[in-house]
Each structure stands twice: as C-alpha cells, then as structure tokens.
Structure 1
C-alpha cells in the first residue's frame, strides 16, 4: 500500500476554549508567547477528547465494550488485550501498554493533531462574577470568581497516516479496507461538526475554512500557513493567500501540492473569497459540506486502489 497521507488545516471561531491550572479565584487560559504577544490555545489532548466524545456519541465506537484502560503499576494505560480491531480509539490515537514478557509496547498515533492556536493575540479580557443567585437563596455572602476570556479565530491541523489505519504489526492485526474507509470517513464527519463543552457552554468548532487533501507523502503542508488579516473596507477577516499560494506550488516526488489540494469555506464570512479561486482551480474551491464529501471520496479511492 502506498504511504498515503491525509492532512487538513482548519480555521474556526471560538471563545475561551481551554483553561489551565489557574491562580486563586482566577481561571487562566492556556497561552503561548511569540514576538512579545500572547496567544491562547486549545491543547492537542483537548481536541482528541472532543473527537473521541463525538465518535462515541454518534458512531457508538465504545458500545458494548469494556473500558480498554487500566491503572496497573500506578500508570494509566491501555490493557494488553486492547487492539486496533476492537477499539477504534486505539487504532486512531495509538497506545502504550505493558505486556508480560515483552514490557512496554507502543504504537504511535495514526491521527496526529496539532494544538489549535489563536490567530489573534490575547488582550487580557477578564470577567468578574459571583454566585449571587446561590448566595441569595441561602442568605449568605457570595463567592467571587474571575475568568480570563479570549474570542478569536483559531487554527489547527489534522494529519492521518492512511496506510497505518487498521494495521498493527505488534499483534498482527489487519482490517478490511471497508472498515478502514469507514473509520476515516467517520473521523472526517466529526471534524466537520466538532464542538466543545466548557464551563456551561457549548463552543462551535465547525470549520469556517479548510484546506487539504490526500497526498503521496505524510506532511502537514498547511500547518502554520494559515494567517488572517482584517479587511479595512468590509471589516471582515481575509485569508492571507500569498502564503498558501507558495505552499501550493511546492512539489515532492513529481507531484505538486496544488494538484491534490481542495479548499472549503463558509460563504459570506471571508472578505477575499474570490481569491481562493485564484490560487486553486475553481473545481477545487467549494463549500465546507462539499469539501468534506470530496475528501471522503478521496479517502475511499485511496483504499480501493491499494
């Protein structure tokens, strides 16, 4: 089987997505610093959790199955019997497990996820509040709290080793291509409608912009390549297409990235939507629904040609 790689980079709109340890009554957002500015982020682990939650809820990937985790030797890890055939979680996200006589056995993640990093700097927005409603009902003093907030566009990248889906040399498991197709297509459906529950609200992580495809190399081509600006006339966001155009003109093994790439977007959100058809052929520029449908077809074609 060809060493095919699926990669998609996405942009979504979100607010206050991932809190860290905090200090006293202050809940602090997770942040990174760059060029003297702070940017908030949603961790890889948090995105993995939300993907797994939706796969479990809508595709029953854990239905009628024992919990595959154990805490033997005070370390939480997968049970020795957890395998890629019976547990999609193990297949997609990898494992470490301890097998008697072999020691620690690992399988790196097949679905690799970058953190979702804000495209706009953190501006130190802070909410002060109390539980006044509860305090009034008990006729006592309320407890104060403070939340950091950041409302921004975020970007992250998913990369999938298509040739490793459903394959595990550690226990000689190999799934039928129909099952491999189903697992990757289910993952794509979840990415299209991903959401996150946090602090009493549900955040919409559905993509406003997506770019990617199935390639002959496993590489996150568009990771750190999605940048935005504000259009002064319309006051809408616009994608910096010069960076994408340069990336699309990259070639490897006699194949241009452009020739395998599609892009999808929510119409009406971006100020420079007409530029998308200038960096890619018009038949490769489409709405989000069509984009994910096209990528699902590309995944199916990859496995059926193997």
Structure 2
C-alpha cells in the first residue's frame, strides 16, 4: 500500500481507455465533397483506421467541463494583424486555460515589438484511434430542404464506422494551477477540484459533433489508470484486444515493467463488453472514484 509520502512524489496521472462504437461518423467532415462526407482515417499497411483527432477530443473535454458547471475562457480576438483568436489567457480564473494551455500574442505600442504569452497544456491527449479498419461503409441520405423552393432533393453519402476505439490522456499533476500565467499558485483544494473535474469529463466523454444523426457514446467501457513518478503514458500502446478478448498478458507485463515508477494502478471495466479482463478489475465508476482519491492524496486534501 502506497504511503502519503509516496503520493507526494507523483508527477503524472495517465488513463488509457477503450470505447466500442456500434454506428458512428466520429469527427466527420461537415463540408461535403462530391456529395460524400468523409471521416478522418490513418493508413497502416493496406488498411485505413478511423480516428478522432486530439483537437476534437480536447474540444469534447472542454465542452463536458462546461456541462459540469465550469465557466470556460471565451475566445478573444487577436490584437495583432492576422493573429489567431485565442482565449482570455487567465488560468487562475478559467479551468480550461489552466489545463489546456494557450498561445496568444499582443501588439506592441507604436512600432515596438509585440509580446507573446504561452502556457503549455497540462493535459496531454492522444487521438481516439479505431482498432478496427474502415470497411467502406456509407450511410445514404437525402436533403429535401430545397424542394419547396423549386429545387430537387440532394442525395448525399456519409462514411460510417463500427468498431473499438482507444484513447489516452496524461495529466501533469505537478503543473496544475501554477507556472506560466499564474502570479501565485492556486491552493491545493482548487488544484484537486480541477483535476477531478477533468476525470469526470473523461468518464462522461461525449463528442458534440455530428450527433443529431449519429448519436454515439464514446465514454470509457474499459480503462487502465496509473499514478506515476514519471511522465509516461505507459498504457498507450499496451491496451490490446483480439475481438472482445483483452490481451491481459501485455497489460500485466506493462504493469510489471513500470512497477518502480508506479505509485498506484487501477483497472476498470463495464460488464459484458470484454473477456479476459485481469483479476481485481472494478467497475468504471469505482475506477474513476479511485483515481479521484489519488488526486486528493497527492494534493493532501483532508476528508470533510
């Protein structure tokens, strides 16, 4: 059992999760080319694997934080010509500026040089990549909106996919609520509150795009979490499946290989989705509650 002193050594919390999708067009394009709306794919050999970009996952996490009651940093117009819009860049006030970072520039006075403000993201996110290849499936649709104005129905196609997706996040616990953008660090209670809010967002992950016709649940149905004294997403390439059978051997080997860098681990799974899960696997809810407990111990939050 890890001691309180051990938890103080932690540097990062990482979670790798699996989510099965039965019918979806995740992160698909809104602009139709040749009447086909495509989904993002990456090639591996002769196969193509759909994925949700890390940017889209980060957007989904931000949206879920807002749903959970957090006020997000609103977009701000750049003060320099052709500058990109950014956030308000106030991490002390806004959870998303703290956890997801920002890059902003400001124009200088007169002909003087401008200035740049940057906070590197505390939360590192992988794309949500399918473990099953794209099979060329298409959903056929017809848009009748222009018929009443004398037009013809517009027939279109949308690429769809069914399969298992894998994603990973890593949270740099030692950088939450301090560093770039902070006049002084936040108190530990606020730091813990923000990290636990992010964990709740991951537990309830929901992609907001293309949900009117392709409602999909991308919340974790299997997850492996670890509290580490290093910053390494140890499960990123080590959570493997063959059909619905989890490769427990690889997972156990990973835990053993990084035993000296690991302070605590938890495996969670939803019943009925996977076979061959390791012993001592708990429910998804219990797994996230366990990680929330790690966060409280790391930030030395006392029980109320």
What TM-score do you get using the length of structure 2 for normalisation? 0.86
Unaligned runs of 5+ in 1: 231-236
Aligned-partner Cα distance in 2 for 1:247–1:22: 43
Conserved in 2, the CA contact under 8 Å of 1:18 and 1:29? yes
Q: 1:75 maps to which residue?
A: 83
Say which SS state the counterpart of residue 244 (structure 1) adopts.
helix
Aligned-partner Cα distance in 1 for 2:299–2:116: 31
The counterpart of 1:190, out of the listed 201, 221, 225, is: 201
Conserved in 2, the CA contact under 8 Å of 1:77 and 1:95? no
Q: 2:275 maps to which residue?
A: 271
Tell which deviates more after alignment, 68-77 or 186-195.
Answer: 68-77
Q: CA deviation at 1:206?
A: 1.3
Aligned-partner Cα distance in 2 for 1:3–1:78: 31
Q: 1:233 maps to which residue?
A: none
Aligned-partner Cα distance in 1 for 2:258–2:226: 14
2:62 aligned with 1:49, yes or no?
Answer: no
Say which SS state the counterpart of residue 145 (structure 1) adopts.
strand
2:104 aligned with 1:59, yes or no?
Answer: no
2:272 aligned with 1:287, yes or no?
Answer: no
Conserved in 2, the CA contact under 8 Å of 1:59 and 1:186? no
Conserved in 2, the CA contact under 8 Å of 1:211 and 1:264? yes
Aligned-partner Cα distance in 2 for 1:102–1:299: 39
The counterpart of 1:162, out of the listed 134, 152, 173, is: 173
Q: CA RMSD in A?
A: 2.2
Aligned-partner Cα distance in 1 for 2:25–2:205: 16
The counterpart of 1:248, out of the listed 255, 261, 264, is: 255
Q: Deviations over 1:107-164 (max 9, x none)?
A: 11001100000010110111222124x4665564200111111111100100000010
Q: Deviations over 1:158-187 (max 9, x none)?
A: 000001000024543310000000000011
Aligned-partner Cα distance in 1 for 2:114–2:83: 17
Runs of 4+ in 1 over 4 A off after TM superposition: 99-102, 135-140
Correspondences of 1:44-123 after superposition (within 5 Å): 44-62=54-72, 67-73=74-80, 74-78=82-86, 82-99=89-106, 100=108, 103-123=115-135
Conserved in 1, the CA contact under 8 Å of 2:10 and 2:227? no
Aligned-partner Cα distance in 1 for 2:271–2:101: 36
Unaligned runs of 5+ in 2: 1-7
What TM-score do you get using the length of structure 1 for normalisation? 0.85
The counterpart of 2:223, out of the listed 201, 207, 210, is: 210
Aligned-partner Cα distance in 1 for 2:209–2:92: 32
- C-alpha spacing 1:37/1:111, structure 2 compared with 1 (3 Å): same
- C-alpha spacing 1:155/1:121, structure 2 compared with 1 (3 Å): same
- C-alpha spacing 1:227/1:86, structure 2 compared with 1 (3 Å): same
2:137 aligned with 1:128, yes or no?
Answer: no
More strand by share: 1
2:274 aligned with 1:261, yes or no?
Answer: no
Aligned-partner Cα distance in 2 for 1:3–1:272: 30
